[in-house]
């Protein structure tokens, strides 16, 4: 019984609020199904699945279809897990386990591990089918996984920092206790319940503590230990009193939980009073429980069913029928088909006991209709589920095709990018090479120009030196001639002749020309060779005159450098013009300047 109340924890008020919220959300899918809204999406599906499984199923498939992130993520994994729980609530074990398996795979992709709560849910499926061994295996594995969670992992699993490691361990112990209770191993059940209570004491969440105490109270009912029922119900009520009066943060504390657990306490005490034969006290606790359950239709229908059964056992059939009719009206109003079916079964027993065969037959017909509708609804749900899954599969195939096209485009874009980079690198390398060559050419040109200037200066210096030397020699010769006039002895004058010869040789010798030619060829490379090729009749003296003119020397300067007279130089220039066949309008020096030189200075790029 306690499992039933723990499993369905949503109230009618929350159902209405949540139904409105979901209806608005579904009409505004584009704004609701976003990554920024993932917490609200998960909360909506988790709340809706307990109060309206059919609406929750539809909502879950809309999440899978409309949530923008199609790859594995926490929202899609949580939605698959919610579908597993929905089909468990609806009694469809196969689809339930199938969706839990899909959820496990996706959580492994996203988190690298399976959240222990999925294993708890799978254990619940096995428990509902009476497969206690497999359920026990799942709960034990979940407990070990909860125990191994580190603080940092707990934050990853609970991004809103609602740490539930201790809560998970407590739930696993309580579920193991319910297995032991179903096997009528009440000592083991009590041991597990106490372990769960200890974990919840460490967590200090008072409504969870109240829930554990109520588990122990229900165990007291099963073992007819009525003093324990009273003690644990009192403990649960004290925890609820502290729920809103404590400095310790209480997650999810609400008036709904307060009324639910206080109502459960009064209900268990009513059942204990019934077993003890204290009918007046039983009535009192039933009335108190009904007040707490006023806005909790699911819990209220459970209380009305238990009350009808107790009055049936007391042979107060009118009172039993009164509770049944009240429960039927409430079940019909809230659409609680499972509770409605249970009330009809109890009413059939009442009619049978009262000898009302006709009434019992009408109830049988209603139950048969309900079963037919249930089978039809299950088949319809299975077909809808198959259609939705097929649509989802088609959507996933479309997404896969789009991903493949995107992947191919990315590959092509990558190849194009590589080619572009290679082309750009080649062009850049060519540009850098050209720039470097240009710089080298400019530097070479600059060096050549500097060398040319340097050789020109050297040539000028050599020319000046030769002229100065020759001027000095001429001056010495004049001094010797002047001094010889004062010599009366012819022999003495004769002695000066060798000196005059040496001085003449120093002026007209080849040494000066060799030095001049060496520097001239550096400044004007190829000039003499090109000039000689123009006219083969030119003599060496002719070439020398041309070289002196090319270097910018005047007739007087040439005379000084060669030791000849100005008149002799002019005669040679005249003869040179005739050899070169120059007309009067063409100056000799202009012709000489037009003779090409060898290109020793590279052109700039």
From the list 66, 17, 11, the residue with the least C-alpha distance to 41 is: 66
Question: What pLDDT is recorded for position 156?
Answer: 66
- Give residue-wise pLDDT tens across range 108-159: 888 888 888 888 999 998 998 889 999 999 999 999 988 888 877 777 666 5
Q: List Cβ neighbours of 252 (8 Å cut-off, separation of 6 or more).
A: 207
Q: List Cβ neighbours of 462 (8 Å cut-off, separation of 6 or more).
A: 515, 516, 519
Question: What pLDDT is recorded for position 158?
Answer: 63
Q: Which two tokens stand for residue 140?
A: 């034990």
Confidence of residue 508 (pLDDT cuts 50, 70, 90): low
Tokens 């002799």 locate to 568
Give the span between the Cα atoms of 291 and 103, in whole angstroms: 41
From the list 70, 48, 67, the residue with the least C-alpha distance to 57 is: 48
Q: Which two tokens stand for residue 42?
A: 């998960």
- Give residue-wise pLDDT tens across range 246-295: 888 777 678 888 999 999 999 999 999 999 999 999 999 999 999 999 98
> Would the pLDDT of 400 be above 90?
no
From the list 586, 582, 472, 567, the residue with the least C-alpha distance to 535 is: 582
Tokens 């006290």 locate to 281
Judged on CB neighbours under 10 Å (0-12, 13-18, 19+), 506 is middle
Burial 83-105 (b: 16+ CB within 10 A, else e): bbbbbbbbebeebbbbbbebbbe
Question: What pLDDT is recorded for position 377?
Answer: 63
Considering only residues 49 and 306, tell me which one the structure prediction assigns the higher pLDDT.
306
> Which stretch, 36-45, 148-157, 563-572, has highest mean pLDDT?
563-572
Q: Are 174 and 182 within 8 A, CB to CB?
A: no
3-state percent breakdown (helix, strand, coil) of the chain, nearest 5: 80, 0, 20
Give the span between the Cα atoms of 313 and 282, in whole angstroms: 13
- Helices 116-128, 165-182: inter-axial angle, 10-degree rounding: 20
Q: What is the mean pLDDT of the chain?
A: 81
Lowest mean pLDDT among 137-141, 235-239, 573-577: 573-577
- Give residue-wise pLDDT tens across range 163-208: 578 888 999 999 999 999 999 999 999 999 999 999 989 888 898 9
* SS3 call for 578: helix
- Give residue-wise pLDDT tens across range 333-364: 876 777 888 999 999 999 999 889 888 899 88
Q: Are 548 and 561 within 8 A, CB to CB?
A: yes
pLDDT mean over 478-503: 68
Give the span between the Cα atoms of 356 and 358, in whole angstroms: 6
- Helices 540-550, 566-579: inter-axial angle, 10-degree rounding: 100
Confidence of residue 21 (pLDDT cuts 50, 70, 90): very low
Give the span between the Cα atoms of 160 and 379, in whole angstroms: 39
For the four alpha carbons of 453, 458, 461 and 466, in that order, the dihedral sign comes to: negative
Confidence of residue 498 (pLDDT cuts 50, 70, 90): confident
> Would the pLDDT of 221 be above 80?
yes
Confidence of residue 584 (pLDDT cuts 50, 70, 90): confident
> Which stretch, 60-64, 220-224, 555-559, has highest mean pLDDT?
220-224
Give the span between the Cα atoms of 176 and 143, in whole angstroms: 10
Confidence of residue 574 (pLDDT cuts 50, 70, 90): confident
Q: List Cβ neighbours of 364 (8 Å cut-off, separation of 6 or more).
A: 348
Question: What pLDDT is recorded for position 296?
Answer: 86
DSSP string, 453-487: HHHHHHHHHHHHHHHHHHHHHHHHHHHHHHHHTT-
Give the span between the Cα atoms of 464 and 561, in whole angstroms: 9
Q: Quick one: DSSP state of residue 603?
A: P
> Would the pLDDT of 602 be above 60?
no
> Would the pLDDT of 500 be above 80?
no
Question: What pLDDT is recorded for position 507?
Answer: 61
Q: Quick one: what percent of the chain has pLDDT higher than 70? A: 79
From the list 522, 577, 584, 530, the residue with the least C-alpha distance to 551 is: 522
Neighbours of 286 (CB within 10 A): 23
Considering only residues 520 and 421, tell me which one the structure prediction assigns the higher pLDDT.
421
Q: Quick one: DSSP state of residue 442?
A: H
Give the span between the Cα atoms of 502 and 563, in whole angstroms: 13
- Give residue-wise pLDDT tens across range 427-441: 988 999 888 888 888
DSSP string, 212-256: HHHHHHHHHHHTT-HHHHHHHHHHHHHHHHHTTS-SS--TT--HH
Which DSSP helix (H) or strand (E) runs through 437?
helix 357-484
Question: What pLDDT is recorded for position 39?
Answer: 76
Question: What pLDDT is recorded for position 603?
Answer: 42
DSSP string, 287-333: HHHHHHTTT-HHHHHHHHHHHHHHHHHTT-HHHHHHHHHHHHHHHHH
Confidence of residue 7 (pLDDT cuts 50, 70, 90): very low
Considering only residues 327 and 532, tell me which one the structure prediction assigns the higher pLDDT.
327
Side-chain half-sphere CA neighbours of 128 within 13 A: 20
> Would the pLDDT of 162 be above 70?
no
Give the span between the Cα atoms of 502 and 495, in whole angstroms: 12
């Amino acid at each position: 019984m306690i499992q039933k109340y723990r499993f369905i924890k949503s109230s009618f008020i929350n159902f209405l609020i949540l139904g409105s919220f979901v209806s608005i959300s579904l009409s505004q899918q584009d704004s609701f199904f976003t990554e920024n809204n993932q917490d609200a999406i998960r909360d909506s599906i988790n709340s809706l699945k307990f109060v309206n499984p059919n609406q929750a199923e539809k909502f879950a498939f809309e999440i899978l279809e409309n949530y923008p992130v199609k790859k594995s993520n926490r929202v899609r994994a949580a939605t698959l897990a919610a579908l597993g729980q929905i089909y468990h609530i609806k009694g469809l074990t196969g689809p339930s386990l199938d969706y839990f398996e899909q959820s496990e795979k996706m959580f492994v992709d996203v988190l690298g591990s399976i959240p222990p709560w999925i294993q708890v849910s799978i254990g619940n499926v096995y428990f509902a089918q009476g497969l206690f061994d497999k359920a026990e295996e799942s709960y034990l594995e979940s407990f070990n996984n909860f125990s191994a969670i580190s603080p940092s992992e707990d934050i990853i699993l609970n991004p809103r920092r609602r740490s539930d490691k201790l809560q998970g361990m407590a739930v696993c112990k309580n579920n193991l206790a319910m297995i032991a209770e179903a096997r009528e191993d009440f000592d083991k059940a009590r041991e597990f319940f106490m372990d769960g209570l200890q974990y919840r004491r460490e967590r200090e969440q008072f409504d969870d503590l109240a829930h554990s105490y109520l588990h122990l109270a229900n165990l007291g009912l099963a073992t007819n230990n009525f003093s324990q029922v009273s003690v644990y119900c009192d403990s649960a009520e004290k925890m609820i009193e502290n729920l809103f009066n404590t400095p310790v943060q209480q997650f999810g504390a609400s008036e709904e939980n307060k009324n639910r657990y206080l109502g459960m306490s009064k209900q268990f005490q009513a059942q204990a009073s019934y077993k003890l034969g204290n009918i007046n006290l039983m009535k009192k606790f039933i009335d108190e429980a009904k007040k707490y359950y006023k806005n909790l239709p699911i819990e209220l229908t459970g209380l009305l069913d238990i009350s009808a059964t107790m009055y049936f056992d007391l042979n107060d059939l009118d009172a039993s029928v009164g509770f049944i009719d009240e429960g039927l009206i409430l079940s019909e109003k809230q659409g609680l088909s499972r509770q409605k079916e249970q009330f009809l079964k109890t009413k059939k027993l009442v009619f049978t006991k009262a000898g009302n065969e006709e009434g019992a037959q009408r109830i049988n017909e209603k139950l048969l209709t309900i079963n037919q509708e249930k089978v039809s609804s299950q088949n319809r749900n299975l077909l809808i589920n198959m259609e939705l899954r097929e649509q989802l599969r088609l959507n996933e195939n479309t997404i896969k095709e789009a991903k493949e096209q995107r992947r191919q485009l990315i590959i092509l874009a990558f190849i194009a990018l590589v080619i572009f980079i290679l082309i750009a690198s080649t062009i850049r390398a060519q540009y850098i090479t050209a720039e470097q060559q240009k710089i080298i050419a400019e530097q070479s040109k600059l060096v050549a120009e500097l060398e040319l200037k340097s050789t020109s200066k050297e040539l000028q210096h050599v020319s000046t030196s030769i002229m100065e030397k020759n001027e000095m020699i001429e001056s010495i010769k004049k001094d010797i001639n002047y001094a010889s006039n004062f010599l009366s002895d012819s022999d003495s004058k004769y002695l000066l002749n060798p000196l005059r010869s040496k001085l003449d040789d120093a002026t007209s010798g080849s040494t000066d020309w060799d030095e001049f030619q060496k520097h001239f060829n550096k400044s004007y490379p190829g000039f003499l060779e090109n000039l000689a090729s123009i006219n083969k009749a030119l003599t060496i003296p002719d070439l020398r005159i041309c070289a002196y003119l090319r270097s910018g020397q005047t007739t007087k300067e040439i005379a000084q450098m060669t030791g000849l007279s100005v008149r002799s130089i002019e005669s040679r220039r005249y003869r040179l013009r005739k050899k070169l066949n120059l007309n009067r309008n063409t100056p000799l020096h202009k012709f000489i300047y037009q003779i090409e030189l060898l290109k020793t200075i590279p052109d700039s790029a």
